[in-house]
Structure formats: C-alpha cells, structure tokens
Structure 1
Amino acid sequence: MKKSLKRLLVSAALTTGLAASAAQAQERVFFGIATGGTGGTYYPLGGMLAQVISNNSQLADKKLSATAETGNASVANAGLLGRGSIESAFVAADVLDAAYKGKNQFKNKPITNLRALGALYPETVQLVAQPDIGKFEDLKGLSVSSGSPGSGQWQLLGGLLSSYGMTRDDISEDYSSFSQSADKIKDGNLDASLITAGSPTASLVELSNGHDISIVPLNGPAVDKLLKKQPYYAKTVLPAGTYKGMDKDVETIAVRAIWATHADLSDDVAYAVTKALYENTDTLAKVHVKGKEISLETALESVSIPLHPGAERYYREKGLIK
C-alpha cells in the first residue's frame, strides 16, 4: 500500500508539473513586427524593439514574446496589416496615409482597419549614385533603381522625375532592393538608386567603405514643387561624414516612419508594446543612430490615421492627449 501510494503521489506530481508547464506555455502571447530588408534601418531597429518588448512587457499574468521579421517595406507591410497577417509593422507616413484613405497605389482599395501605435524617426531620401553623377538631371538616360513597382519609393521617384521635367521613359528603371542596388552600383551595373531609410543605412555604409559614391542633393525649385504635392516629406540635411568620402552636407528630404498595427489587436497588447517602446528609447539608441531620434515627444508627429485605443490610453496617461 505504501509503494502504491508513493507511485500515485509521484504520478500526481508529474501530472501537475506537466499541466503547469502546459499552462505556462499557453500564457505566452506572441507579437510580430514586420520590418524591411536587412540592408535598411527597419530591420536592426525592429530586432532590438522585439527584444525590448520581450524583456519589458507584462500582460496581466501573460508573457509577451516579440519577434522581428524581414519584409518588403511600407506598401507590403500595410498589406500584411490589412490582412491581419502580422501584429505590427513599420510603414512610412505617406504610405500609411494613402493605404488608410485609398489613395495613390491604394486607389479605391482603402485599408480601413489600419491603426497607429506611434511615430518613430525620419527616414532620409538618399539618391546614391556613381561618383561622376552630381545632380538629379544627370540621371537622364541612365539606369536608376526605384525599388519594387508600386512601392512608396517607386512612387516617389515618379514624383521627382515629374518635378524635374522628366518621365520614367527618360531613365532605364531597375527594381532592385537596397542591398541589391548597392551591389550593382559597386559592380558598375547600376548608375543610381533611390533609397529611403534611416541614415546611415547599412548597405550604403558597406558600399561607401569599398567604393566611391555620390549622394546627389535633392533641393531647389523642383523639390519645392514636389513638397507641395507630397506634404509628408520635409526638407532635411544629411550631415557630412555620414558615409565615407562624403565631405560636405547634402540637402535632401525625409519622411517619418510610423509603427502601425490593425484594429483587431487587443487594447492591452497595444498599450503594453507602446509603453515598452517609449520608455526604453535609450536602449534603441545604442543599436542605431536613428534610435536616438525616437522619443515620446514626437510620438504623434505625422500620424494621420486613427490611433489604436491601447496606444491612445498610454498617450493620455503621459499627457500627450487631453
């Protein structure tokens, strides 16, 4: 009887332990962040943000476990959110606005379940080219990469060409990614590429370290004309020394990146991840210089779509929304 009782107690303990382990596993809530290609800024910052969320978020008695995933940047990320295929994503402000309102590349196809968590940092438009190319007009007749057709960057190139009195027929258009464009420029198989990302951009740092490049200015009356049509872009300066061989400041434009989600994300999760981001910006700043430009004070800049209620609750607590 004693042996039988002992076996029963051991069995009960094992069963209880297994049940507790199973219950513990069920209490983990997974949260994905769609970023961009490995050669841009979205990816490294997304990876660190995932760590910040995993290490600093608690959802009642559940554990938030975040992961960053490579993606095809803003337009594709907006589509992922619209389908509910991922919990959150980084999207440029102009693309997010167009997606929600059904404009431009989303014409007559609005994604109305999009919600904002908060603004991140300005993404700099960098026209990188072979060293003998000094101004936008020099691109006529040359090969230029604009990224995926229909992307925000592809649309921006079209707008720039129009502002400079040119069309897509005036260039040989290439659709390579950031990293692919950098490799093609290095190998002499591409003349220029439009890259919109936080600076310094990893693929351009690597390129400039082994190859002479030109960062072409985007300024003057043509750019002023563009900004009137696309108000989400603003003038900015890429500082001298951003890339090897860049010995003077370069005038260009930038658009703010937004961290977005969809309406079906729970309020508690949205609150927890928003709080994790804006209360741990010092950690993000250690990963990339653009992390230093993420702050609670600018969390609502360029946000033109509805906030997620969970994020809104956090901003009300902090006094950003009355």
Structure 2
Amino acid sequence: MKKLLSLCLAVAMSLSLSACGNPTTPSSGSQGNSSVGSQTSQPDPSGKTLSLGTASLGGNFFTMGAAAASVIMDATGLSVTAQATGGSVYNVGAVNDGELDLGMSQASAVASGINGTDSYEGMATEDIRTLFNFNATPIHILVKKSLGASNVTDLAGAKFECLAPGDGVELATMKLLPMLGLSLDDVTLEYSGSRVQASSRLKTGQVDAILDATGLGASWIADIYGDGSDWTLLSLTPDQINTVVQGAPEYSQMTIPAETYSGQSEDAITVGLWTTVYCNASMDEDTAYSIVKSIMEGKEELVKAHSFFSDLSPENISDACIAPLHPGAEKYYKEAGVL
C-alpha cells in the first residue's frame, strides 16, 4: 500500500510539472484544462477508469484522494486516477458535467452547487450524488497576532488568503465573513495559487489571515502557527455561531481543542463542515456500492496514509447528506444498518 501510494504521488508530481492552466471558475470546459496533476494506474481488464478530483498539490485533499484511489483499486480492481484540481467548487461542476467521475469537496461547495448559489448562482448542479463523508473539518480562523484582533469584526482592512478562485477556502471566506459581521468590501482577498505559496506568504507577513476548513492538527496550519508567538486562532461568539448555522445548515459548531497546535493555550470555538465524496447520478449502482464498501472496509489502510481518515464511519452520512444519496451508496448504508 505504502509503495503504491509513494509511486502514485511521484507520478502525480511529475505530471503536474507539465500541466498547463489552473481552473479558476466552475467547470464548463474540457477535462484537459481541469487538472494540474494526477495519480494514475493501469486500466483494469474491463476498461473501466474513474477520475477523482481532489485539490491543489501540497494540500491534504490530494494526499487523501491518492490514498482513497489506492484502496478502491486494491478492493475492486477498478482503475482510478486521483487528479489535482482547482478544489472543492471546481470539482462539483466537473462531476456534474461528467468531466470527473468522482469529486472530493467541503460540504459548503456541494451545498452551493445543489442550491444554485454562490459560485453556482443560477446553474444548480442537479446530477451530483453523495457517496460518503469522511472527516470533520473545523474552520481555522488563523490570524496574525500583530493585528490585535479578538473577534472577526476586528479584521477590517486585513488581507485574507483564498488560495485560488473556486477553492473551498475562497468559498468559506466569501460566505462566512459577511455572516460574521465583516463586509467583503472591508477586506482584501488574496490568491496565492496553492497552499505551498500561501504558506510562504502568510509566514512572511504578506497576508494577514485565512479561513481554512481542515482537519485537527493539519500539518500546513501547524507549520504556519509555529509556537503560537505570531499567530492565533480566533473563536466565534455564540451569536455568530447561531447566525452561521441558521443561515448555512451545512455548517455546525465545532471545537479546536487547546494544544492541538503548539502554544495554543485555549480552545477555539468555531464552525465546521464534513468533507464529502460524490459522483454523477449516471454512475451505475454496482460501481457506487463497491466504492463505498471498499472505502468503509479499508479504513485501517486509509488511516495509515492520513490521520484525517480516523473519522471515517458509515454513521457520518446520517443527517449530513447535502446532495441526494446515490442508490448504490444507499444500498450499502442500509446493509450497514445506518439507514
């Protein structure tokens, strides 16, 4: 498993160097412009090949997508390609349009697609079907201490990192700041392009803050946070949390416990999302069923590849299904006693 994953990632990095273009808007073009890297395999004898959209290289999504692809291939014999893409929002459109077979996104991006809001205003993605949710991702409101902010409303004039247009970070920032009492007209949105570039710009003070929905102890957040002398994680007030949960039901209250990051002396009370994996409604029932089954039964191997898979459970789907369940996934959850 480890050798396969290492090989997959090596191929992905190689391919990414020759990729041209980075998606900046919801999908409406060819798959050739949709990815900046991929983890590939030889097709299985049936000729069935599936593409799994993740996010930019250097982030957790790509690593987790490559691990998931390996587990699916080992268990089902299907050929799977984990592709680095523009991220959560892009993947929703690409799967809906049939340019990707599978997508990985924060629940907020799926909600935007299903409801035809935000980046998908007026063009709802009606063909998205849920397969599984695999981990909770609390919003990390990471802010430079030098700003002296104790509340999001204190951040007027700040520069917020959004990674790339269409990324889940951009979506969360644009959706949450106004709900938390800070107008987008009062901040500057910065686009570094990837987490690697964003990390450098945050640490060198070129950007002031980021709202990132990611798992507890995320390595890239830990790297920026350091010993906590220059950065802090802001908490939300009860009123702010209630406003978000009422206005955007895909969010719920979550806690980043004290000492999750070095020097973090207090809990950070925030909101968060599930990370969800989905497919197009046209996927056949047997394929969807086998994908869900292989992932749920492959938890042990997945956790070895990335600790964020420790949350994986069939129960995660209960009351947290933004897009309709695919019939194949529904079959599995009924067998598992969840539905």
The two structures have a TM-score, normalised by structure 2, of: 0.79
Report the AA paired with residue 119 of structure 1: N
Letter in 2 for 1:96: V
CA distance in 2, matches of 1:122, 1:197: 8
CA contact (8 A) 2:108 2:172 kept: no
Question: Partner residue of 1:255?
Answer: 273
- What is the CA–CA distance in structure 2 between the aligned matches of 1:317 and 1:269, rounded to whole Å? 16
1:128 aligns with 2:142: yes
Distance 1:204 1:304 in 2: 27
Aligned to 2:91: 77
Of structures 1 and 2, the larger Rg is shown by 1
Offset from partner CA, 1:87-121 (integer Å, 9 cap, x none): 10112223213212323321220111111111221
- Give the match for residue 159 of structure 2: 143
DSSP-derived class of the 2:272 partner:
strand
Which one of the candidate residues 183, 190, 197 is aligned to 1:174?
A: 190
Matches within 5 A, 1:32-43: 32-43=51-62
Return the offset for 1:303.
0.7
Whole-Å separation in 2 of the counterparts to 1:38 and 1:82: 23
Q: Deviations over 1:61-103 (max 9, x none)?
A: xx31223221222110001101211210112223213212323
* Structure ranking higher on relative contact order (CA contacts 8 Å, 6+ apart): 1
Give the one of 223, 227, 239 matched to 2:257.
239
Question: Matches of 2:83 and 2:216 in 1, distance apart?
Answer: 20
After superposition, residues 205-220 of structure 1 pair within 5 angstroms as: 205-209=222-226, 212-220=230-238
| Cα distance, 1:27 vs structure 2 | 2.8
Partner of 1:200: 217
Judging changes above 3 Å, is the alpha-carbon distance between structure 1 residues 159 and 102 closer, same or farther for their aligned structure 2 residues?
A: closer
State the Cα deviation string for residues 103-150 of structure 1 (Å, max 9, x = none): 332122011111111122111211112233442233111211234445
Question: Which of 106, 128, 133 in structure 2 is aligned with 1:119?
Answer: 133
User: Given the alignment, which residue of 111, 128, 132 partners 1:97?
Assistant: 111
Q: Contact 2:146 / 2:230 at 8 angstroms: preserved in 1? A: no
User: Percent of pairs identical after alignment?
Assistant: 25
Query: Matches of 2:55 and 2:171 in 1, distance apart?
Result: 17
- Report the aligned-residue RMSD: 2.2
Unaligned runs of 5+ in 1: 1-23, 58-62
Q: Determine helix, strand or coil for the equivalent of 2:206.
A: coil
Q: 1:265 to 1:164 in 2, by over 3 A?
A: closer
Taking the aligned partners of 1:156 and 1:282, their CA distance within structure 2 comes to 31
Aligned position for 1:46:
65
Q: Which residue of 1 aligns with 2:48?
A: 29
Aligned pair count?
Answer: 293
* Counterpart Cα distance in 2 of 1:178 and 1:137: 25
- The one-letter amino acid of 2:60's match is T
CA contact (8 A) 1:34 1:69 kept: yes
Match of 1:21 in 2: none
2:287 is aligned with 1:269: yes
Tell me if structure 1 keeps the 8 A contact 2:155–2:182.
Answer: no
